Amino acid sequence: MKRFPFLDWMRGLAVVIMIQCHAFNSFVRMDLREGGPYVLSQFIGGMAAPLFLFMAGMTTGFQMESLERKEAVVWRRWWISLGRAGYILAIAFTFRFTNWLFSVPHASLTELTKVDILNCMGVGLGALAVTAVVPAATRARFAVMAGLGIAAVSPLLTNLDWSGTPALLQEYLVPGQARGHFPFFPWVAYVAFGIAAGDLVKRASAERFERFMQWNVLIGFGMILTGQYFSNLPYSLYTKSSFWTDSPALIVIRVGIILLMMAGSFLWTEYCVGPGWSWMLAMGKNSLMVYWVHVMIVYGSVVRPIKRALSIPEATLATLVVTLMMIAMSAWWLQRKGRKASMKAAG
């Protein structure tokens, strides 16, 4: 599958946002968490998960477009897409196990069932695997409608009576007071919008790609303004809705921001940087590994003495150290893969 440098750069940016968010959350003292620097770090960090879910959808959109050309049998396209979703879910549970293992001797078995972003991604991709059976001409439209539908019904489902439902099922489905922060409604909407974007990017011709990015900017600004307008109305279609947990307006605003970031990443990688090595691209190409390792570091037992014990400058330094470690790991891994590829080609 063809790699798009601007998407690797964008994924690398999401990694940087994620690292600073998790590091500040783990290291900053509790009495400093009402102040501007910490609040800002978490506000910016709120874009990391939507970015990863959206780009997971984009990758799936690429795969579905390629799969349609290779596999004529409709149900097999759905089955292959479902298998890829199962693979992500297997990674999610493996991640939860290793995270629990690195928390020993302070580990809790409840850590194994926590609904994290990879769990949400796997379940969402499984539900949206049906998109693979939709013809290419209407796939993007179908994915957009799925994203809007998931976002639109989220406040309704959140406010249903879930008292008789198993807690774990609720955590997978809707926002609540439980441990999971990435339920299907509304987070999978980002995956659906990503599938639509991936389908359009894959099918955009090279000579019209810049025009495609210009449309991304216009649509992105339009979505931000639309979401902002509806979120500020004195009345609502919903009897009860929380802007930061289940609001469709927040989904629309964030997708608009992601489209602007995509256009900006394309502009940067196409015209502002040279062909040489890029630490941002390196982290983007190894985003899953960086996610896995940095979480075990910043939330693991090895840093327990400094958890919730650092000032803002100290936490900033710790964040920089973790980021440099992840850059070094990514560079080493890519170099290792390059050497293996060279040896294989030579042999």
**171-209: pLDDT as tens digits:** 999 987 654 589 999 999 999 999 999 999 998 888 889
pLDDT band at 42 (very low <50, low <70, confident <90, very high): very high
In this predicted model, what pLDDT tens digit does every residue of 93-150 receive, in sequence order?
999 998 888 777 666 777 788 899 999 999 999 999 999 999 989 999 999 999 999 9
pLDDT at residue 312 above 70? yes
The pLDDT value recorded for residue 180 is 53
The pLDDT value recorded for residue 288 is 94
Where do the structural domains in the chain lie, given as residue ranges? 5-346
Name which residue leads in pLDDT, 264 or 342: 264
pLDDT band at 313 (very low <50, low <70, confident <90, very high): very high
The pLDDT value recorded for residue 108 is 76
pLDDT band at 219 (very low <50, low <70, confident <90, very high): very high
Mean pLDDT for 297-314 is 91
pLDDT band at 2 (very low <50, low <70, confident <90, very high): low
The pLDDT value recorded for residue 107 is 66
Q: What is the pTM of this model?
A: 0.94
Q: Are 92 and 122 in contact (CB under 8 A)?
A: yes
Percent of the chain with pLDDT over 90: 73
